[in-house]
Amino acid sequence: MARTDSLSPDQASALDAPAPRLARRLLWGFARTFSVVALLVAWEVLARSGTFTPFVLPSLSSVIERIFADARSGELAINTGLTVYRAMVGFLISMVFGILIGAAMSRNVIAGWFFDPIVSVGFPMPKIAFLPVVILWLGVYDVSKITIIVIDAIFPVIAATVIAIRGVERELIWSARNMGATDRELMWQIILPAALPQILTGLQVALPISMIVAVIAEMLMGGYGLGGAMMTASRFADSRGVFAGIVEIAIVGYVLIKAMSVLRHRLLIWHQEANEPTTA
């Protein structure tokens, strides 16, 4: 392969022209999505081959037709909006209280003594087991669904915040102390910015958990939402409706994760990871 440093200035500038850059981006974009495209093509071919009945595996084209039909009727907007609303409200509550509890555990001995056993026991256990209790106490409406989301999603945020703050370099804290920084200034200007990358990693873990638990809660509690619509379709043996729900959840989840990734890049534009080579 020819090295760019051995090329003439005209050849190097030709490689950096907009057209070659666009071609490279398109080629890389295709390479990144090839596996997904291959899976979708295999789905369509397998469904049309007669190996499975349309009830067991409806074709991708028929599922897409169903999604457009739901979009025209307004059901898709209602169900998607409710699921995203529940997931995001639960996520935001988990973010606020998770960071507050994690920061308190890291900076306060009493808070650490009180919360550490709860986090140690609660983190590895399947929190969805609390769903029957939540239903008994709060019913089957939005409050109970958001509550179980918070119970599930808050633990990664707490753990990431504790690890991030405890991992801040002591030299930074000592230097700020020597320069007369107060506890509040130390927290807001030194500790939280230094811990932000790991805290954002915890939030990136909590976001898909919020979406997953929201769908599960809707499946078990019923009502509107993507999970509830899938269960309704299943009860009426509507195979296309079930697979349409799977595709819709996958698309919504991907959009949320991508948005969180963009937000991370924006917030960490000052950080060294923003300047590191990336395949994104």
Do residues 80 and 245 lie in contact, with contact meaning Cβ atoms separated by under 8 Å?
Answer: no
Q: Residue 84 and residue 41: Cα distance in Å, rounded?
A: 28
The answer to whether residues 228 and 218 touch, using CB atoms and an 8 Å cutoff, is: yes
Mean pLDDT of 127-152: 91
Residue-level pLDDT at 254? 93
Sign for the CA dihedral angle at 260, 278, 156, 107 comes to: negative
pLDDT of residue 1: 43
Q: Does domain 60-275 match CATH 1.10.3720.10?
A: yes
Distances (CA, A) of 3 to 8, 23, 263: 11, 19, 36
Task: Give the range with max mean pLDDT: 42-56, 86-100, 219-233, 253-267.
Answer: 86-100
Distance separating alpha carbons of residues 110 and 96, to the nearest angstrom: 20
Is pLDDT at 61 greater than 70 in this prediction?
yes
Write the pLDDT tens digit of every residue in 66-124.
999 999 999 999 999 999 999 999 999 999 999 999 999 988 889 989 999 999 998 88
Provide the residue ranges of all domains of the chain, joining segments of one domain with +: 6-48, 60-275
Query: Global pTM?
Result: 0.83
pLDDT of residue 250: 93
Q: Which two tokens stand for residue 161?
A: 């915040």
User: Contact 75/66 with Cβ under 8 angstroms?
Assistant: no
How confident is the model over 242-270, as pLDDT tens digits? 999 999 999 999 999 999 998 888 888 87
Helix or strand (DSSP H, E) at 20: helix 18-48
d(CA 115, CA 109): 10
